[in-house]
Structure 1
């Protein structure tokens, strides 16, 4: 069926008049009449009949008008939905994130984004750096927010800011609030993150760089807050993000150890797959983060 001819018929039927239909469609009256005749010929049935200065619908015409109204209502809804998707107001966004961005950074940015884009569905998958990159590379995530990590082939890495890493111990530990050498610090037993964690990799890399013993690992956890809780309960030392542990230090639940000549930082980055066109929703979210960090 010729859908353009059907739309012309719909306008004629709705107005009951060829003249008004031609004005709305911005085509000539003879063209309107010809489209209706062509549709009647295609369907093999009469759709309209003259009535006064206008037209009226036959039984078939009324049926077609009713059905075509539903069709063009769906067409209008499709146009609205597609436009909302195109401008980032509707869609789905999956973010893979390491623990620090997932708990400290993303909640506020997602709240800001949702306030303006309520109909966007957002999924956040939390894991270590290795897991976050795996989701991005397999196209199961649109964007990854990585605390630490490392630059990889085919990944566009956009540096956001740097996060300090602090050594912490239980509040009544002999090293609490003291300045010590790295060799002294490495005599301690550590609570450490799991394999694949960028903080763990940064820690081990530091040991190799300064030619000190690898950390003695007493406990291993798959999460930031678990390691802090273990230390605050009185066991071991930890190397951890300052952004995460600062509030625990301020409350006296753990204490810093100031290690001489060591200034450890790790990048917080926003990562996407190179040469991969982001969805409108992903583009909007990425731009929001850029804009907010620029003013902060």
Structure 2
């Protein structure tokens, strides 16, 4: 296997070029700008999703082959069962935030993560409309790269819990999540699409917390893995509400339950509060 730094250099280049492809679809500068929107399980898929997925997978396969690596993309995923023996797994979301991409909010991203033993060891998150990629290697820190500069990202939380800002979804809302958000000790909220863009907002210190609470569906491995590593390597936290670490490539692509990402030294307190509030909600609904 290549050195992780060498692998990262290729993944960063793939991220930049994939961002260029999405950017051209977003701004309608491709030869055929029709996004050909379809819906699968009520979620939109566009020709941009498919094109970028093919590009990323083909580039990575050409660079690394299939002997040591498996490749799981949101747009090509069928079953992980035949991949369980793979030591290294690429988790790819070619377009995180498709609804925002279609609605032209600018909040869409590309996620590329390398998983080993159920944990991310390398990740790239590209945010095309910001002309930025964030990248990290396990125990190597997080970096922000633009066309003109590369800088290390290090979080230094100082706010009291009541002053923290939650970054929340414009969609994927349900009663249980609404109750939780309304009863947390911090009530400042900022709406941002795409998990990658939400975590980027925390890295840019324009928000402090992101909460995911599964309902009838849950975020998938490719939604979370790359954003998790760029946050944690910058000094943030990303755990289940009980404080346990997230696991990927386990045979179930869903990240069920409650997840909390933060830049805050109040992370443990917020996890405990979230569990208490949800227990209260469940008691109320049983009455």
Shorter-chain TM-score bucket reads under 0.3
Q: State the TM-score, normalizing by the size of structure 1.
A: 0.27
Structure number with higher helix proportion: 1
Instruction: Give the TM-score normalised by structure 2.
Output: 0.28
Larger Rg: 1
Higher relative contact order (CA 8 A, sep 6+): 1
